[in-house]
Amino acid sequence: NAGVTQTPKFRILKIGQSMTLQCTQDMNHNYMYWYRQDPGMGLKLIYYSVGAGITDKGEVPNGYNVSRSTTEDFPLRLELAAPSQTSVYFCASSLWGSTGELFFGEGSRLTVL
Amino acid sequence: DAKTTQPTSMDCAEGRAANLPCNHSTISGNEYVYWYRQIHSQGPQYIIHGLKNNETNEMASLIITEDRKSSTLILPHATLRDTAVYYCIVRVQDSNYQLIWGAGTKLIIKP
């Protein structure tokens, strides 16, 4: 099993551009999450999903959108990129929500200039 | 805001037990304590979690005080590969049951 796979690993955007961070998991987990991590800080939840077709906002959803059309995929869309969105983004999945173990991808480092 | 307080950094000699403290004085009776670690900006890795009783697995032990206001993560025989940021997290008892992450403890294992 590959676990949680994120692409791209690195990306530089110009202010106002848009992009999608891809996340896929092969563990048949219902729960999926997107976090961002700023330097020296803990993770902040952007959006999460409890199953295909169901998504909800986390702590810091502004400027982002998500969709969950399949169990495996949970893409994160950045519209009109801003310097404040420069961060490392982590996708995670779990079988039992945050009650159990979260499995994380390797991260996507995004820089907005 | 995170409901936990951890030291910013700690050192430990290789081969010794690493004891990482965490304060969570406002924890509620049905809230769990979770520990994750993050090695060099990789994705975080789950270590252990507990409610009231002490817990042990192949990676670590978790000791929770009787009043549940603090806990200690113990890595019994630290190796250089245990150098990482360790996060103590209380699972907030709300409708979403999401994890609130603090800044963690940077643990450095020295040869």
How high is the pLDDT of residue A47?
A: 95
**How confident is the model over B91-95, as a mean pLDDT?**
63
> Which residues are paired to B11 by β-bridges?
B108
How high is the pLDDT of residue A49?
A: 94
Q: How far is B102 from chain A (nearest CA, A)?
A: 5
Distance from C-alpha of A96 to C-alpha of A93, rounded to nearest angstrom: 9
**How confident is the model over B51-76, as a mean pLDDT?**
95
B98 and A45 within 8 Å at the Cβ level: the answer is yes
A41 and B103 within 8 Å at the Cβ level: the answer is yes
**How confident is the model over B94-111, as a mean pLDDT?**
83
* Joined tokens for residue A21: 């961070």
Per-residue pLDDT for B96 more than 80?
no
Min mean pLDDT across A32-46, A67-81, B38-52, B83-97 is at B83-97
* Confidence grade of residue B91 (pLDDT, cut at 50, 70, 90): confident
How high is the pLDDT of residue B73?
A: 98
**How confident is the model over B13-38, as a mean pLDDT?**
93
Distance from C-alpha of A50 to C-alpha of B77, rounded to nearest angstrom: 38
Q: How far is A111 from chain B (nearest CA, A)?
A: 16
> Which residues are paired to A108 by β-bridges?
A89
Which residues on A lie below 8 Å from B44 (Cβ)? Answer: 43, 90, 92, 102, 104
How high is the pLDDT of residue B94?
A: 56
Q: How far is A88 from chain B (nearest CA, A)?
A: 9
A101 and B97 within 8 Å at the Cβ level: the answer is no
Per-residue pLDDT of A41-65, as tens digits, reads: 889 999 999 999 999 999 899 999 9
Which residues on B lie below 8 Å from A92 (Cβ)? Answer: 43-44
From residue B56, how far is each of A69, A92, B53, B63, B74 by CA, in Å? 38, 24, 10, 9, 9
How high is the pLDDT of residue B101?
A: 85
Sheet holding B9-13, edge to edge: B9-13, B105-110, B84-90, B33-38, B45-50
How high is the pLDDT of residue B93?
A: 60
**How confident is the model over A2-8, as a mean pLDDT?**
95
Per-residue pLDDT for B26 more than 90?
no
How high is the pLDDT of residue A91?
A: 97
How high is the pLDDT of residue B97?
A: 61
Judged by a CB distance cut-off of 8 A, whether residue B102 touches chain A is yes
